Amino acid sequence: MSILDVKNLTKRFGPPIGGFIAVNNISFSLKEGEILGLLGPNGAGKTTTLQLLLGLTTLTSGTITYFGKDFVTNRSKILENVNFSSAYTRLPKLLSVRENLNFISYLYNIKDRAARINKIAEIFHLKELWNKETRTLSAGQATRLNIAKSFINFPKILMLDEPTASLDPDVAGYIREFLENERKEFQVSIILTSHNMAEVEELCDRVVFINRGKIVADDTPENLAKTIEISHVRLLIRKNDMAKFNSYAKGAQLDWLTQGPYSLLNINEKEIPNILRSLAEIDINYDEISIERPTLEDYFLEKARSKT
């Protein structure tokens, strides 16, 4: 069941003539319990889309519907069930961790405030930071506090902007696991932006790719990666065959580069058997070979570099 529907959403900054269209007629939906990745290069329109979904900016045209209700006319009621966390925002720096969570709990009208705040503090290991001023927290601790804040109101929909940026790998892993559990246990739906493609592949059921304000793809991470035909073949060529290999690669007009002792070929998956056969025929020997199939990162790079 869809709990968020975005239809023909457009945001223009500045006047109708000479202004800038940051989000251009986009439509997508979010199902209950779904984790949706919002990807795109810098300036693609991801942040503006998140701002529109959170009411931090006004829309120029189109509609946003949460739980079957229009967002513009029911903003306050809807936001009781939505929350947001970004690695790039901070809670008031002179307030302690406890004070910040306390005043935020009033904004969401939480019923059993003390119990909820304590529970959140336990989950995100904030008890040891309880009376520390937020300005004294490390970047990772502040990010943890931000994510904790975003769970304070038992959100049905969560918007996370780079949730694990600046976190140690073990803490980032813990947060990912927590998000996955929340989704399974409480059917929390999440919209996530991240530059960590491995994280997006691991967490997201679906990815909406935005470029120049328009949606250019809306599919699963696996299907998006499959649209890329180029694989990466890493070969450890024997030293005395290197010159021969370089001359062959040049002649065959292969896309290749040298990385330390390895030669890295970017080639169409279907061409791999032919190339390996050619190397054997001209007696070029290698001691190691690894083939990396296309990933979401390859898809991202191709789309980000494309002009259209």
Partner 1 sequence: MNFARIYGLILRYNYLLRRNFDRMADAFYWPTIDLFVWGLTGLYVERLAGNTKIIVAILSGVVLWYIVFRNQGEITVNLLEEFWNDNLINLFVSPLTFGEWIVSVLLSGIVKSIIALFFAATVAFLLYQVNIFVQGFYLIPFAFLLILSGWFIGLTIAGFVLRYGTKIQFFAWTLVYIFMPFSAVFYPVSTLPTWAGKIAGLVPMSYVFEGMRQVINTGTFDINKFWISLGLNAVYLIISIVYIKSSFKKALERGLINII
Question: Residues in the site for partner 1, rule: CB under 8 A?
Answer: 13, 47-48, 51, 54-58, 75-77, 79-80, 82-84, 86, 89-96, 99, 102-109, 133, 149, 159
For residue 38, the minimal CB distance to partner 1 (Å) is: 15
For residue 26, the minimal CB distance to partner 1 (Å) is: 16
CB atoms within 10 A of CB 121: 19
For residue 95, the minimal CB distance to partner 1 (Å) is: 5
For residue 108, the minimal CB distance to partner 1 (Å) is: 6
| Nearer Cβ to partner 1 (114/252) | 114
| Nearer Cβ to partner 1 (58/240) | 58
Based on the number of CB atoms within 10 Å of its own CB, is 2 exposed (0-12), middle (13-18) or buried (19 or more)?
Answer: middle
| Nearer Cβ to partner 1 (114/198) | 114
CB atoms within 10 A of CB 290: 11
CB-based contacts of 298, cutoff 8 Å, min separation 6: 225, 228, 230
Host H or E run for residue 266: strand 262-268
| Nearer Cβ to partner 1 (88/186) | 88
For residue 74, the minimal CB distance to partner 1 (Å) is: 10
How distant, in Å, are the alpha carbons of 28, 59, 169 from that of 17? 27, 17, 47
Nearest in space to 30 (alpha carbons), one of 206, 183, 168? 206
CA 191 to mean position of chain CA atoms: 8
For residue 172, the minimal CB distance to partner 1 (Å) is: 22
Nearest in space to 211 (alpha carbons), one of 307, 86, 294, 88? 307
How distant, in Å, are the alpha carbons of 35, 95, 163, 250, 304 from that of 92? 29, 6, 19, 58, 35
For residue 92, the minimal CB distance to partner 1 (Å) is: 5
Tokens encoding 106: 């009033």
CA separation for the pair 93, 122 (Å, rounded): 21
| Nearer Cβ to partner 1 (158/235) | 158
| Nearer Cβ to partner 1 (48/231) | 48
| Nearer Cβ to partner 1 (109/308) | 109
